[in-house]
């Protein structure tokens, strides 16, 4: 019977040929390897990619800004709170998604209340890619920083009241200028509400702001037919006010317009108390005292004196109450808000608005956006950036110091006052209008000269 | 680049590490094993020889891995202890200065709160990136300046002031230790030895003459455990990076107390 060999022929070589067996196993291994790799890739890819993306911050690099405030030295008493309110604003902006889809990263070096360190720190910040600087308190520090921001063509946001008589396209001024603070203060002192006072004693720290502010004050008093009862300047940080008190008593002054700054105020009010000068008879109206400075002063020494400002923590507006509550919840319930913290908050938000409007961090684009006019509803009311001067419109408010280191607002201007960094009574012919060529110069003025 | 693994969740980091080692073993078994086996395939009892050598190697390698793991754990643990001590010193200092007369007491407390807030909100995220935060020093200096500004008027104030200064020095010491720990990690050279050891270990397993699937399974298991060990060391290294790291919890608890007070 013939055998059917076809079946055997098919199977035999596969069972016995080493070559065929090897090929088959390699093929199996190859296919298994490819399949396993693909399966592993498919299985792990979502996990890997999910893991890689989680926790990675927004698109792009963070926006760097500089907070240039003294955290040690004589000005730390005032400037540290500005750093905090700026950090507070940045944290809120970041929590809300950032600016232009990017987080803001703040760097806050310490210029140690030394005017020589301000430009150095500013240069370090700007060299490191900082888009804008929020900083300075004293005018000497600001004037030291301006050439640096101009060199780098970046913006400095300055929130403290100052003397005016200055303009730079690289500075945005958020604080009061004399026509918004010093002149309304004098008006109030001379009014019936202020006690119809006639003998104003000018007392200040010895640097640019007090000297220029008092120069303007003297010019303004002259328009009222008055002369100051006296004028004294003491070094910044100076605490011995005994001789100044003797001078005030000897001059028969009926009020003191104080431009004393920093922790010198401790000495000033201690001197007033030890000289037994009654605030009802000779009140001090200070341009540089806010709630923060009051923390360092003894309530019994300052109660009854006055401060001129654009903002007080005790303002009854709901927006202010919420802001104060939020700040204190974040930084502690013994913390206070005041001027220039509120203007600083407003400035940072105005910058944010300008950057959003420009869609860019480029200084020229941000400035162009600002020059179109911007407003921000701050805790103390609506703040509008004046495109002509790069200053802000401000309410003028006068507060009387209470025992609890807060203020009773005794006067508030009916509307915000437009800024005028060059009041014509002091700087005739000088004008700033960035919408029309910038600065127009008048005749040179010597600040220290006789009025 | 390697530091980006610390941004991954721990379990993903572990899975990736194990997958890498097992994958490395499997790919090597497919591509390199046939070549490597040329060295031993004519040797009688090759598996026994490879087994002896591997055992000997594993003793040294295991010791190295074990010691490094213990060192990494001790380092992380010590950093955690220093952080707790810093927070404790800060807390004691906060209580001490609360007894100072106003306005000193309030201002000093405020500065300590500011420091604590900075550590939680700004210093810790930087430490997690391996960056030593610098602005805390400014805050500590601001506190010191204010503390030294105080002149005791009574015997009680003298004692209190002396105690505050002592406490402040302790705080500075622990703070400095925390900052030093930010850049503390296993030296690169040790990592090279660990990685080289892992590669030799795996290469030795490739030399075994076994059925292919057995090879893949046993070698895969060994590689998975190697990956786990190396993951453990990496996760514990750099005490402020990754999920397995020293947290800011002691400072957070303190700050909550400070703000609510």
Q: A264-310 pLDDT, tens per residue?
A: 999 999 999 999 999 999 999 999 899 988 888 889 999 999 999 99
Query: According to the model, what pLDDT value does residue A451 have?
Result: 45
Question: Quick check: A46 contacting B, CB < 8 Å?
Answer: no
How far is A302 from chain B, CA to nearest CA, in Å?
13
Single out the residue of A91, A92, A93, A67 nearest to residue A79, CA to CA: A67
All residues at 6 or more sequence positions from A386 whose CB lies less than 8 Å from its CB, including other chains: A392, A393, A418, A419
Query: According to the model, what pLDDT value does residue A117 have?
Result: 97
Upstream peptide bond of B103 is cis (omega within 30 degrees of 0)? yes
Judging by DSSP bridges, how do beta strands A397-401 and A431-433 pair with one another? unpaired
What are B62-72's pLDDT values in tens digits?
A: 999 999 999 99
Collapsing DSSP states into helix, strand and coil, what is residue A306? strand
**What's the complex ipTM?**
0.84
User: B93 pLDDT exceeds 90?
Assistant: yes
**What's phi and psi for B14, nearest 5 deg?**
-65, -45
A29: nearest CB among B15, B113, B212:
B212
Check A334 against B8: CB less than 8 A apart. no
What are A252-262's pLDDT values in tens digits?
A: 999 999 999 87
Distance CA A210, CA A214 (A): 6
Query: According to the model, what pLDDT value does residue B249 have?
Result: 96
Distance CA A76, CA A82 (A): 10
User: A410 pLDDT exceeds 50?
Assistant: yes
Q: Which of B142, B146, B220, B242 to mutate to test the interface with A (most CBs of A within 10 A)?
A: B142
Check A331 against B212: CB less than 8 A apart. no
Exposed / middle / buried, residue A357 (Cβ in 10 Å: 0-12, 13-18, 19+): middle
All residues of chain B having their beta carbon less than 8 Å from the beta carbon of residue A29 are 30, 212
All residues of chain A having their beta carbon less than 8 Å from the beta carbon of residue B7 are 52, 54-56
Query: According to the model, what pLDDT value does residue A8 have?
Result: 40
All residues at 6 or more sequence positions from B108 whose CB lies less than 8 Å from its CB, including other chains: B97, B100, B143, B146, B147
List the beta bridge partners of residue A65.
A106, A132
Return the higher-pLDDT residue of A446 and A396. A396
Measured between CA atoms, the residue of chain B closest to residue A81 is B114
Check B15 against A47: CB less than 8 A apart. yes
Name the band, by pLDDT with cuts 50, 70 and 90, for residue A56: very low
Query: According to the model, what pLDDT value does residue A10 have?
Result: 41
Check B107 against A295: CB less than 8 A apart. yes
All residues of chain A having their beta carbon less than 8 Å from the beta carbon of residue B121 are 91
What are B12-37's pLDDT values in tens digits?
A: 999 999 999 999 999 999 998 888 88
How far is A295 from chain B, CA to nearest CA, in Å?
6
Query: Domains of chain A, with CATH numbers?
Result: 63-177+316-398 (3.40.50.2300)
Distance CA A257, CA A194 (A): 13
How far is B58 from chain A, CA to nearest CA, in Å?
28
All residues of chain B having their beta carbon less than 8 Å from the beta carbon of residue A73 are 145
Handedness of CA B194, B199, B200, B205 (dihedral sign): positive
How far is B103 from chain A, CA to nearest CA, in Å?
5
All residues at 6 or more sequence positions from A426 whose CB lies less than 8 Å from its CB, including other chains: A165, A178, A215, A216, A219, A220, A445
Measured between CA atoms, the residue of chain B closest to residue A34 is B27
Check B16 against A51: CB less than 8 A apart. yes
Distance CA A449, CA A63 (A): 46
Q: Which of A54, A292, A332, A333 to mutate to test the interface with B (most CBs of B within 10 A)?
A: A332
Check B107 against A296: CB less than 8 A apart. yes
Torsion of CA B17, B18, B23, B29, to 10 degrees: 130
Query: According to the model, what pLDDT value does residue A366 have?
Result: 96
A51: nearest CB among B12, B109, B141:
B12
Mean confidence (pLDDT) of chain B? 93
Return the higher-pLDDT residue of B4 and A182. A182
Question: Quick check: A230 contacting B, CB < 8 Å?
Answer: no
H helices present in A111-234, as ranges: 117-127, 139-152, 182-190, 208-223
Query: According to the model, what pLDDT value does residue A59 have?
Result: 52
All residues at 6 or more sequence positions from B196 whose CB lies less than 8 Å from its CB, including other chains: none
Among the ranges A51-60, A346-355, A439-448, B39-48, which has the highest mean pLDDT value?
A: A346-355
Largest CA distance in chain B: 93
DSSP string spanning A420-433?
A: -SS-TTTSTT-EEE
What are B234-253's pLDDT values in tens digits?
A: 999 999 999 889 999 999 99
Query: According to the model, what pLDDT value does residue A32 have?
Result: 54
The model carries a pTM of 0.83
B151: its two tokens: 């002149």
Query: According to the model, what pLDDT value does residue B98 have?
Result: 95
B12: nearest CB among A25, A47, A84:
A47
Question: Quick check: A111 contacting B, CB < 8 Å?
Answer: no
What are A344-389's pLDDT values in tens digits?
A: 999 999 999 999 999 999 999 999 999 888 999 999 999 999 999 9
Contact B36, B207 (CB under 8 A): yes
Question: Quick check: A84 contacting B, CB < 8 Å?
Answer: yes
Single out the residue of A360, A416, A302, A336 nearest to residue A82, CA to CA: A336
Check A334 against B106: CB less than 8 A apart. yes
B24: number of Cβ within 10 Å: 16
Query: According to the model, what pLDDT value does residue B259 have?
Result: 87
Query: According to the model, what pLDDT value does residue A46 have?
Result: 41
Single out the residue of A303, A307, A193 nearest to residue A259, CA to CA: A307
Surface of A (10-29) touching B: CB under 8 A: 25, 29
B16: nearest CB among A33, A48, A71:
A48
Query: According to the model, what pLDDT value does residue A111 have?
Result: 97
B258: nearest CB among A33, A109, A332:
A332
A114: number of Cβ within 10 Å: 17
What are A151-190's pLDDT values in tens digits?
A: 999 999 999 999 999 999 999 999 999 999 999 999 999 9
How far is A313 from chain B, CA to nearest CA, in Å?
18
Name the band, by pLDDT with cuts 50, 70 and 90, for residue A26: low
User: A402 pLDDT exceeds 70?
Assistant: yes
Check B138 against A48: CB less than 8 A apart. no
Counted across chains A and B, CB pairs separated by less than 8 A come out at 73
How far is A221 from chain B, CA to nearest CA, in Å?
37
Check A71 against B23: CB less than 8 A apart. no
All residues of chain A having their beta carbon less than 8 Å from the beta carbon of residue B4 are 52
A309: its two tokens: 């400002």
Single out the residue of B203, B141, B213 nearest to residue B172, CA to CA: B141
What are A36-54's pLDDT values in tens digits?
A: 555 554 444 444 443 333 3
Single out the residue of A277, A231, A237, A295 nearest to residue A258, CA to CA: A231
């Amino acid at each position: 019977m013939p055998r059917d060999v076809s079946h055997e022929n098919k199977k035999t070589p596969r069972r016995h040929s080493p070559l065929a067996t090897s090929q088959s196993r390699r093929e199996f291994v190859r296919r298994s390897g490819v399949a396993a790799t693909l399966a592993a890739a498919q299985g792990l890819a979502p996990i890997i990619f999910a893991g890689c993306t989680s926790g990675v911050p927004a698109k792009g690099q963070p926006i760097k800004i500089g907070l240039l405030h003294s955290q040690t030295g004589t000005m730390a008493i005032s400037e540290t709170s500005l750093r905090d309110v700026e950090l507070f604003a940045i944290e809120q902006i970041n929590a809300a998604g950032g600016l232009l889809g990017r987080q803001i990263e703040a760097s806050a070096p310490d210029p140690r209340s030394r005017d020589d360190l301000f430009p150095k720190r500013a240069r370090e910040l700007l060299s490191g890619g900082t888009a804008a600087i929020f900083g300075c308190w004293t005018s000497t520090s600001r004037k030291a920083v301006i050439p640096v921001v101009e060199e780098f063509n970046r913006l400095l946001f300055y929130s403290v009241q100052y003397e005016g008589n200055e303009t730079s396209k690289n500075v945005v001024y958020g604080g009061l200028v004399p026509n918004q603070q010093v002149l309304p203060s004098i008006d109030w002192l001379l009014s019936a509400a202020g006690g119809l006072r006639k003998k104003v004693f000018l007392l200040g720290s010895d640097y640019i702001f007090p000297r220029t502010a008092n120069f303007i004050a003297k010019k303004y008093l002259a328009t009222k037919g008055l002369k100051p009862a006296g004028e004294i300047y003491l070094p910044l940080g100076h605490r011995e006010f005994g001789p100044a008190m003797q001078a005030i008593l000897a001059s028969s002054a009926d009020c003191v317009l104080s431009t004393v700054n920093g922790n010198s105020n401790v000495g000033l009010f201690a001197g007033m108390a030890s000289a037994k000068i009654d605030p009802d008879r000779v009140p001090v109206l200070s341009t540089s005292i806010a709630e923060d400075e009051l923390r360092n002063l003894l309530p019994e020494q300052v109660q009854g004196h006055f401060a001129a400002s654009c903002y007080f923590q005790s303002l009854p507006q709901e927006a202010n109450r919420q802001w104060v509550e939020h700040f204190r919840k974040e930084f502690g319930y013994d913390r206070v808000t005041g001027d220039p913290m509120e203007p600083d908050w407003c400035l940072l938000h105005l910058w944010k608005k300008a950057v959003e409007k420009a869609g860019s961090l480029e200084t020229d684009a941000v400035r162009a956006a600002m020059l179109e006019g911007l407003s921000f509803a701050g805790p103390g009311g609506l703040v509008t950036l004046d495109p002509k001067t790069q200053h802000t419109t401000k309410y003028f408010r006068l507060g009387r110091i209470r025992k609890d280191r807060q203020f009773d607002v005794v006067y508030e201007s009916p509307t915000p006052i437009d800024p005028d960094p060059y009041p014509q009574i002091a700087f005739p012919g000088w004008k700033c209008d960035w919408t029309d060529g910038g600065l127009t110069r008048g005749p040179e003025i010597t600040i220290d000269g006789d009025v | 680049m390697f530091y980006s693994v610390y941004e991954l969740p721990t379990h993903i980091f572990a899975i990736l590490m194990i997958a890498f080692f097992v994958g490395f073993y499997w790919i090597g078994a497919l591509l390199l094993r046939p070549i490597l086996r040329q060295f031993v395939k004519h040797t009688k009892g090759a598996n026994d020889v490879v087994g002896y050598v591997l055992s000997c190697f594993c003793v040294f390698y295991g010791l190295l891995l074990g010691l490094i793991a213990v060192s990494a754990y001790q380092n992380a643990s010590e950093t955690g202890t220093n952080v707790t001590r810093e927070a404790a010193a800060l807390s004691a200092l906060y209580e001490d200065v609360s007894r100072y007369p106003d306005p000193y007491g309030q201002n000093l407390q405020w500065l300590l709160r500011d420091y604590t807030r900075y550590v939680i909100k700004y210093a810790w995220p930087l430490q997690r990136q391996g960056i030593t935060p610098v602005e805390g020093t400014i805050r500590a200096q601001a506190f010191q300046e204010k503390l030294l500004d105080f002149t005791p008027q009574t015997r009680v104030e003298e004692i209190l002031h002396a105690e505050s200064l002592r406490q402040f020095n302790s705080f500075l010491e622990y703070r400095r230790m925390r900052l030093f720990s930010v850049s503390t990690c296993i030296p690169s050279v040790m990592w090279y030895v660990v990685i080289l050891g892992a590669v030799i270990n795996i290469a030795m397993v490739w030399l075994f003459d076994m059925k292919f699937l057995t090879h893949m399974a046993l070698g895969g298991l060994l590689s998975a455990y190697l990956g786990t060990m190396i993951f453990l060391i990496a996760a514990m290294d750099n005490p402020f990076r990754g999920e397995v790291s020293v947290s800011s919890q002691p400072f957070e608890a303190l700050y909550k107390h400070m703000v609510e007070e």
